[in-house]
Every structure is written in C-alpha cells, then in structure tokens.
Structure 1
Amino acid sequence: MSYFDNIRTFIRVYELGSMSAAARDQRISPAVASARISQLEAHLDVRLFQRTTRSLTPTEQGQLFYEGACGVLEAVESAEASIGDVTDNPRGTLYIAAPLGVGRRLIAPHTPEFTAQYPLVDVRLRLSDRNIDLTAEGLDISFFLGRPADSNLRIRKIADCQRVLCASPAYIESHGHPKTGAEIERGQHNCLNLRYPGAAEFQWELETSDGPQKFNVRGRIECDDGDVLTDWALAGAGIALKPVFEIAEHLRSGALVPVVEETPPLPVQMACLYTHRRHQDPKARLFMEFMIERIESAIRATEQT
C-alpha cells in the first residue's frame, strides 16, 4: 500500500471518528482501512488511536501527527496541481457535494463529459439534501441552494432560481386552490416539507404586498429527499415548495399546478462553496467553471418554458 494512501486514510479516520465511516468515505473496506492505520502505526512506532469496541479516540501522538499529516498531504496535492496547471492536463481526485435535485438534474448528467475532457481527474459526487460541512467531510466543492451558514469559505453565486408552490389537480379539486400564504398558515392545507437533522421549523418566505414575509407551515408528512416531496405532490398528498428547474416537466404537462399565486415564493440562490486553496487547484477551478456554465444554461431553459 502507498504511504500516502495510509496518510489519507488516517486523516479521514481522525476527522470522521470512525474506521467504518472513513472506509465508506474512501470506497475501501473497513479491513483495508484498519490495515492502513496499523501499517502507519508500525512505521511510526506509535499508537495513533485508542480503540475499544465502542469508540476510537486519537492519542496525543495521533493529534500531533494529524496536524503534520494535513500539511504533508496539502503540499503533495499542491505539487500535483501545479504540474497539472503547467501541462494543462490536471490530475487527481475531486470530492463534490450537491443537493439531490441539483446533483441529479444539473451536475451528474455532465460529469462524464468533464471526466472525458480531463481523463486524469476522478470525480466523487455525493448527493444529499442535508447540510454539508465541506471542511469536516473533506470536500473540494459543495453546491447548495439557499443561504449557507456563516463560515470563512468562499462563495461563488451561480443563479437566482425561481421557485413555485405547487400541487396536483387532484389535490386542488379535493382541498381547494389557495391564493395566499395566509391560507396556508391557517392550517387549511397539508404542506410537504423537507426535513433533515438539525433543520429549523418550517417557514416559507413569500412575496406579499407589504414585502417578503415568512409564513409558518405545517404538514403531516415530511422527508429528507426533495424528489420524494415531488412524488408526493404528484400523488395528490399536498403542496410542495420547489425550484422550477426541478419540476419544469410536470408544470408543462399540467401534472403539477402553481398555487398561492398572489404571494409567490422568493427565488432561492444557487451557489457553490470552496476554500481559497481549492480555488487555486486547477482541477477544482475547471470543474466549477465547467459546471456553472451548464447549470446557468439549464436553469435559463427551464425558467423560460
């Protein structure tokens, strides 16, 4: 095994606090991850972690080695990046995160084209509608919708995406066609909400005659996958708040119908997060520029139909 592979695995075990989580992160088996840590400990002649059946805790030597190992790995990645920049042929692995709807519709379809254009770059795409900690999870770029938490990360705005409150014709026939956020807030309708660990209580920010206003909403079912909310809306289960690019085909076909038209939702920002260092990495910079161009084009196309 490569010494640098051992270091990479050690760093992820340290950051994630779990051998199995680090193994999943690196697409290796827990046995391989454990073997890499054992080899590293044998090479250094120290114990890097205290292991029990229930926990894994860095030793003092492990904490010291982590600080140095991060610097070594960054130096190697920087050296590889500089070679790629000079040769105009970047190399290495990119770890990318995105919400499910953004990833499935706007990023995943173009990823094979990117890797074909840059054959020495591997892409690891992780899709989730939960909040992602870019630094803690070892990511290079994180695409997102909404407002990111305060951080020292850099933000590259891509577009303001139109959103719509929508429901199926069957739901409207059974429950009526709400026109304003006040009708929603009174609890007259079942709202389909996106829920993930740590999510705040549900509020929809709508444009009223008095300016933007937040409305408390309630619903009987919720999910941490935005596409499930779309499926529920199509099935007549309630009202969903969706970016237009995610449901454009259903709006065109009439399977979903806009509601609450008198107080429509505000657009949502789409952007990507990255560290200053990653923006200096040519493969990360190229991936951002490549995807942003295609995302902007796709959003314009869906919002004009």
Structure 2
Amino acid sequence: MSYFENLRTFVRIYELGTMSAAARDQRISPAVASARMSQLEAHLGVRLFQRTTRSLTPTEQGRIFYEGACSVLAAVEEAEAGVGDVTENPRGTLHIAAPLGVGRRLIAPHLPEFAAHYPLVNVRLRLSDRKLDLTAEGLDVAFFLGRPEDSSLRIRKIAECSRVLCASPDYIAAHGHPTTGAEIERGQHNCLNLRFPGAREFQWELQTPDGARKFDVRGRFESDDGDVLTDWALAGAGIALKPVFEVADHLKSGALVPVVKATPPLPVQMACLYTHRRHQDPKARLFMEFVIDRMAAAVAE
C-alpha cells in the first residue's frame, strides 16, 4: 500500500476518532484502515493509538506524528496543486458541502458542466442542513446560509437571499391569514421549524416598523431537512420560513402564499467557507469561481 495512503488514513482516524468513521470517509473497509495503521506503526516502530474494544486514543507519539503527517500531506497537496495550476489542468478530489436546498437547486445542476471543463477533478458533494466542521470532516469548501461561528475560516459572500414566510391556501382558509410577527409569536399559528442537533430555541428575525426584531415561534413539527418543511407547508401543516429561491415555483403557481407581509423576514447571507490553504488549491479556487456566479444569478432571478 502507498505510504501516503497510510498517512491520509492515519490523519482521518486521528481527526474522526474511530476506525470505522475514517474508513467511511476514505471509502475503504475498516479492515483496510486497520491494516494501513498496522503497516504505518510497523514502519515507525511505535504505537500511534491505544486500542480497546470501545475506544481509540492517540498515544504521545501519535499526537506528535499527527502534526508532522499533516504538514507532509499539505506539502504534497500544494505541490500537486501547483502542477495542476501550471498545466491549467487541475486534478484530484474536491469535497464540497452545502445545505440541502442550496445544493440541490444551485450547485448540483452545474456539476456536469464543471466536470466537462475539468475532467480530472472528482467532486464529492455532501448535502445536509446541519452545521459542518470543515477541518474535522475533510471539506474543501462549505456553502451555507446565515452567519458562520468560526471566524478562523475564510468567507466569500455570494448573495443576500430574500426570504418569505409562506403557507398553503388550505392552511390560510383554516387558520386565518397572519399579517404581523406578533400574531405568530402569540402561538396562534403552527410554525414549521428547521431543527438540528445543538439548535437553539426558534426565533424568526422580521423587519418591523421599529427595525429588525426576533420573534419567538412555536410549532408542532420540526425537521432537519428544509425540503421537508416545504412539503409540510404545501400539505397545509403550517407556516414555513424559506429562502425565496427554494419556493419560487410554488409561489408562482399559488400552491404557497406569502404571509406576515407587514413584518417580512430579513434576507439571509449566502456564502462559502474555506481555509486559507484550500483557497491556494487551484481546483477549489476554480470550482468556487465557476459556481458562485451561477448561484448568484439564480438567486437574483
């Protein structure tokens, strides 16, 4: 097996904490991951992890070796990226993450065209509405809606996305047509909420005559998938807070109707996150340049 493959597997085991998680990340079996660690430890003559049936803990030698392994892999990636940049023919694998709605509607449709332009670049697109850790999950670029909490990462703004509070005509007929945030805050309406592990209590930030204000909202339905909220709204289950680009067709057809127009939701920032090192990789830089203009144009429509 390649020594560099062993290094990459070691780094992912160290970062993810388990052999099985690292194996999934590397698209290999746990047995292969274990064999790579055994080879690496035999080569170095030291134990990199203390193994028990329930845990995997780095040894002191493992912690020291991790820093050096990261430096070696970063240097190799930078050298490979430099060759790709010079030849204008980048190669390698890009790991991209995005919220479900953004990924499905604004990124995935453009990947075949990107692949045609850069045939030696493989793209792994991971879609999830939960917050992701770029470093821990081995991501090159992560797209998001909102404000990032990690200020150590580089941010590239794409667009300000208009949002809308919307419900189906059936819901409005049964429960009334709310016009202000105060009506939904009083619990008169069922609010459909996006929930993921670690999420705080639900607040919708709306524009009032006195300025922006956060309203506490409640509802009977929660999901960690934004498209599920849209489906519930279409089924008449409640009111959803959605980026306009995600529900534009439903608004146009009348399947969903804007509500709370007197105090509309504030726009949300769409941007992407990347580390400084990742931006030096030409395939990551080219991907961002390729897709960002297309995303901004789609949001503006």
Q: State TM-score, norm by structure 2.
A: 0.98
SS in 2 for 1:39: helix
Map of 1:138-177 to 2, 5 A cutoff?
138-177=138-177
Q: Which amino acid aligns with 2:172?
A: I
Q: After TM superposition, list the pairs within 5 Å mapping 1:107-122 onto structure 2.
A: 107-122=107-122
Q: Distance in 2 between matches of 1:179 and 1:295?
A: 31
Query: Equivalents in 1 of 2:185, 2:205: separation in Å?
Result: 12
Matched, 1:19 2:19: yes
Superposition pairs of residues 74-113 of structure 1, within 5 angstroms: 74-113=74-113
1:150 CA displacement: 3.6
- What's the offset of the Cα at 1:79? 0.1
Q: Deviations over 1:214-235 (max 9, x none)?
A: 0000011101110111111111
Residue 234 (structure 1) aligns with = 234
What is the aligned partner in structure 1 of residue 291 from structure 2? 291
Match for residue 256 of structure 2?
A: 256
Q: What is the aligned partner in structure 1 of residue 300 from structure 2?
A: 300
Name the SS of the counterpart of 2:242 in structure 1.
Answer: strand
Displacement after TM superposition at 1:277 (Å): 1.3
2:190 matched residue in structure 1: 190
Q: CA deviation at 1:137?
A: 1.5
**Unaligned 5+ residue runs, structure 1?**
none
Task: Tell me the amino acid that sits aligned with residue 49 of structure 2.
Answer: F
After TM superposition, which residue ranges in structure 1, 4 or more long, deviate above 3 angstroms?
A: none
Aligned to 2:70: 70
2: CA distance, partners of 1:28 / 1:231: 36
Q: In the alignment, residue 43 of structure 2 is paired with which amino acid?
A: H
Residue 71 (structure 1) shift = 0.1
Deviations 1:6-27 (A, max 9, x none): 1111101100001111111122
Query: Deviations 1:230-283 (Å, cap 9, x if unpaired)?
Result: 111111110000001111111111111100000000000000011111111111
Amino acid of the structure 1 residue aligned with 2:164: V
Residue-by-residue CA offset, 1:104-135 (whole Å, 9 max, x unaligned) = 11111111221221111111111111111112
SS in 1 for 2:237: coil
What is the CA distance between 1:37 and its match in structure 2?
Answer: 1.3
Could you tell me which residue of structure 2 aligns to residue 131 of structure 1? 131
Give the match's secondary structure for 1:143. strand
Deviation string, structure 1 residues 177-217 (Cα, Å, up to 9, x no partner): 00000000000000000000111110000000001010000
State how far apart, in whole Å, the 2-side matches of 1:217 and 1:14 are: 41
1:33-48 equivalences under 5 Å are 33-48=33-48
Counterpart of 1:90 in structure 2: which amino acid? P
Secondary structure at the counterpart of residue 250 of structure 2 = helix
Q: State the one-letter code of the partner of 1:285.
A: R
Q: For the residues of structure 1 that align with 2:43 and 2:124, how far apart are their CA atoms?
A: 30
2:268 alignment partner in structure 1: 268
RMSD, matched Cα: 0.9
- 1:20-43 Cα deviation digits (max 9, x unpaired): 111111222212211211121122
How many Å separate the matches in 2 of 1:112 and 1:33?
32
- State how far apart, in whole Å, the 2-side matches of 1:154 and 1:299 are: 22
Q: Which residue of 1 aligns with 2:220?
A: 220
- Aligned-residue offset at 1:56: 0.7
3-state SS of paired residue (2:269): strand
The aligned amino acid for 2:72 is: V
How much does 1:3 deviate?
A: 1.2
* Whole-Å separation in 1 of the counterparts to 2:6 and 2:115: 26
User: Deviations 1:62-94 (Å, cap 9, x if unpaired)?
Assistant: 111101000000000000010011000111111
Separation (CA, whole Å) in 1 of partners of 2:228 and 2:11:
35
Aligned pairs, how many?
301
Deviation at 1:138, TM superposition (A): 1.5
Please tell me the residue identity of whatever aligns with 1:273. L
> Which has the higher mean CA deviation after the structures are superposed, 273-282 or 187-196?
273-282
Aligned mates of 1:40, 1:247 — CA distance in 2: 51
Give the distance between the partners of 1:293 and 1:49, measured in 2 at CA: 45
